[in-house]
Amino acid sequence: MKITRITALPVRLPRDIGAATGTAGSPTVLTESAADYRWSSVYPCLYSTQFETALVRVETDSGLTGWGEAQAPLAPEVACTIIDRLLAGVITGEDFDGSPERIAELWDRMYATMRVRGQTGGFMLDAISAIDIALWDIAGHHAGKPVSALLSPRAKRTIPAYLSGIPRGVTDTQGFRLVKLFYDTHTPEEFFEHADAVIDAGGHIAVDALWRHTPTTALDFGAELEKRGALWFEAPLPPEDAAAHAALAHDLRVPIAIGESYRTQHEMRPFFRARALGLYQPDIGRCGITEGLRLAAMAADHGIDVVPHISIAFGPQVAAALHFAAAVDHCSLAEYNPQVLAVANRFLTEPLRLEGTHYQVPSGPGLGISLRPL
């Protein structure tokens, strides 16, 4: 079959930003502004007041269609323009047999379009990832199998989930033993007051520090996490410095968790070599399934477990992350944010499901989902 058409769709939905605060895509209170994009009130990062993502539809002359999605919480038009103006032109008309090898060839072909021009990360890779997910969706439909079965003969049918982000002051863990808290307060003392309340209520915490620390403050903060038996210390430092992460990992017992800021093996290799992490968190909407598998293999080579990052997303991206998690042997946990899943399920004919505290991996062909009209 041949790829005949690629359509990119930027999505922007209104949401209750107050209700979303403390959850994926809105972990902190935002500054007052009339703008759609606003700074966090506690550290320098920009967030949208709306729910934003970028979808892509890939069509073939066989009648098979695949859906993909880029992680695009701000300016989804950028990834869509890259698809429309650049990537669609090098993929449309290509033969496609649905094999993993052919998908990898097409991923490399898309990556090669701009690598000599310096576009080896960011929006460029987000756009590639959306198409990559859609190609895997088509491959599964072509084979009559779920994507996870294409990826591994030992794919899991269920995946334990952890609860990601409960607003400050809330201690109800909704039946989840493991809860990830955001460092969303102005001071560490305020944060640990909330963390201790969650622990007292029966929660076992992991902490996302939102890249806020310096090496010195991270060491002090990490020591407090160790006292509380935290499972991991996520995104402690600005993402550019592998050496600083390595030094922190050496000085702390609590595992350093990173991954969502990086999209390729080239970006992650210095961190693995420096032993700068104890847990790897790829975002499939930023690396795609194809590069995600390569990155997972790199993590396995270094004896590091994988827990995919699942943030603002619709059904294609969440489903892709679940198939990835099901297929990777050294992945035994996936992120669950109730608001993200609720929004994703609004646009699916059959919802993605949790039973108790376990995701049910979609069992239909491809991603195993069907989108309603937006």
117, 144, 171 - which closes a domain: 144
User: Is residue 369 in some structural domain?
Assistant: no
User: Is residue 366 in some structural domain?
Assistant: no
User: Is residue 356 in some structural domain?
Assistant: yes
Distance from C-alpha of 179 to C-alpha of 129, rounded to nearest angstrom: 28
Tell me the pLDDT tens digit for each residue of 329-347.
Answer: 999 999 999 999 999 999 9
pLDDT at 16: 85
DSSP E strands in the chain: the ranges are: 3-13, 37-39, 46-48, 51-60, 65-70, 158-164, 178-182, 204-208, 233-234, 256-258, 279-280, 305-306, 334-336, 353-355, 358-360
Q: Is 174 exposed, middle or buried (0-12, 13-18, 19+ CB in 10 A)?
A: exposed
Distance from C-alpha of 229 to C-alpha of 238, rounded to nearest angstrom: 24
Residue 365 token pair: 């062909």
Check which CATH number belongs to the domain holding 106 and give it.
3.30.390.10
Helices (H), 26-97: 76-82, 88-91
Task: Examine the domain organization and report whether 231 and 274 are in the same domain.
Answer: yes
Residue 333 token pair: 């946990």
Residue 139 token pair: 């491959």
Task: Examine the domain organization and report whether 85 and 166 are in the same domain.
Answer: no
Structural domain harbouring 69: 3-144
Task: Examine the domain organization and report whether 331 and 236 are in the same domain.
Answer: yes
Task: Examine the domain organization and report whether 217 and 92 are in the same domain.
Answer: no
113, 144, 175 - which closes a domain: 144
User: Is residue 322 in some structural domain?
Assistant: yes
Task: Examine the domain organization and report whether 17 and 163 are in the same domain.
Answer: no
Task: Examine the domain organization and report whether 63 and 80 are in the same domain.
Answer: yes
Nearest to 290 by CA among 78, 137, 156: 137
Task: Examine the domain organization and report whether 129 and 168 are in the same domain.
Answer: no
Strand partners, 182: 208
pLDDT at 22: 76
Nearest to 319 by CA among 345, 291, 295, 293: 345
Judge whether 195 and 168 are in contact, CB under 8 Å. no
Task: Give the up-direction half-sphere exposure of residue 346: CA atoms within 13 A in the CB hemisphere.
Answer: 10
User: Is residue 372 in some structural domain?
Assistant: no
Check which CATH number belongs to the domain holding 222 and give it.
3.20.20.120
Tell me the pLDDT tens digit for each residue of 6-24.
Answer: 999 999 999 888 777 877 7
Strand partners, 355: 358
User: Is residue 365 in some structural domain?
Assistant: no
pLDDT at 142: 98
76, 111, 144 - which closes a domain: 144
pLDDT at 55: 98
Task: Examine the domain organization and report whether 118 and 226 are in the same domain.
Answer: no
Sequence-distant (6+) residues with CB within 8 A of 177 are: 202, 203, 204, 357
The number of distinct structural domains making up the chain is 2
Task: Examine the domain organization and report whether 263 and 332 are in the same domain.
Answer: yes
Task: Examine the domain organization and report whether 269 and 322 are in the same domain.
Answer: yes
pLDDT at 374: 72
Task: Give the up-direction half-sphere exposure of residue 350: CA atoms within 13 A in the CB hemisphere.
Answer: 10
User: Is residue 370 in some structural domain?
Assistant: no
**Overall pTM > 0.95:** yes
Q: Which DSSP helix (H) or strand (E) runs through 111?
A: helix 100-112
pLDDT below 50 — which residues of the chain? Answer: none
pLDDT at 168: 84
User: Is residue 90 in some structural domain?
Assistant: yes
Task: Examine the domain organization and report whether 208 and 242 are in the same domain.
Answer: yes
Task: Examine the domain organization and report whether 115 and 233 are in the same domain.
Answer: no
Dihedral over Cα of 14, 19, 25, 31: its sign: positive
Residue 351 token pair: 């919802």
Nearest to 207 by CA among 151, 245, 258: 258
